Amino acid sequence: MTNMSTIHQSPIEVVRAFFDEMSKLDFDTALVYISDDCEYENLPMPDSKVIGPAGIRAILEPFFAQTIENEFIVIREAAQGQVVFIERRDRHLLSNGWIELPVTGVFEVQNGFITVWREYFNFPTIAPMFQMNDNSK
């Protein structure tokens, strides 16, 4: 995937632009910022490592399927060279209200594309969200 406009952005600008599109749930535009060989891992979820835009879409689209609105509130961000850290509060509006999750993302950006993305959060914080939104019961 090639997007010449991303190549001229700094690593932190690339990550910000990615989250701007993800807040709109615009996967097509957001995934333009992801390299074809990007390693994505959603820790501490077991077996969560996927590669590239298609792998990321396969994980995130089902996760956000019931989401009406997203907010990614940046608390702290730092970049050194190609590495970007973003501490944030992810807010997702579902039919029964907002849920929030504190997350830290670590990214590596090469030539304007995210090549590594790892998410860190406390799993017990998110577990009740899965139960709260389980409509099968």
Mean pLDDT of 120-127: 76
Domain annotation covers residue 52: yes
Asked whether the predicted pLDDT for residue 137 surpasses 50, the reply is no
Looking at residue 45, its pLDDT comes to: 80
Distance of CA 95 to the CA centre of its chain: 21
CATH number at residue 90: 3.10.450.50
76 occurs within a structural domain: yes
Is residue 137 one of the residues assigned to a domain? Answer: no
- With respect to residue 106, please indicate whether it lies within any of the assigned structural domains: yes
Q: What is the pLDDT of residue 136?
A: 46
Going by C-alpha positions, the residue among 21, 12, 30 that lies closest to residue 112 is: 12
- Is 113:34 a contact under the CB 8 Å cutoff? yes
Contact residues for 134 (Cβ-Cβ < 8 A; gap 6+): none
Global pTM value: 0.85
Identify which of 104, 88, 79 has the alpha carbon closest to the alpha carbon of residue 11: 79
Judged by average pLDDT, the poorest of 22-31, 64-73, 106-115, 116-125 is 116-125
How confident is the model over 48-105, as pLDDT tens digits?
899 999 999 999 999 899 999 999 999 999 999 999 999 999 999 988 888 899 999 9
* Rounded Cα gap, residues 60 and 105, in angstroms: 15
Tell me, yes or no, whether 105 lies in a domain.
yes
Q: What confidence category does residue 130 fall into, taking pLDDT thresholds of 50, 70 and 90?
A: low
With bands split at pLDDT 50, 70 and 90, how would you rate the model's confidence at 1? Answer: very low
Which structural domain range is residue 86 located in? 4-132
Q: In this predicted model, what pLDDT tens digit does every residue of 36-45 receive, in sequence order?
A: 999 999 887 8
The residues near 51 (Cβ < 8 Å, ≥ 6 apart) are 37, 38, 39, 40
Instruction: Look at residue 49 and tell me if it is in a domain.
Output: yes
Q: Count structural domains, the chain.
A: 1
List the structure tokens of 5. Answer: 């406009």
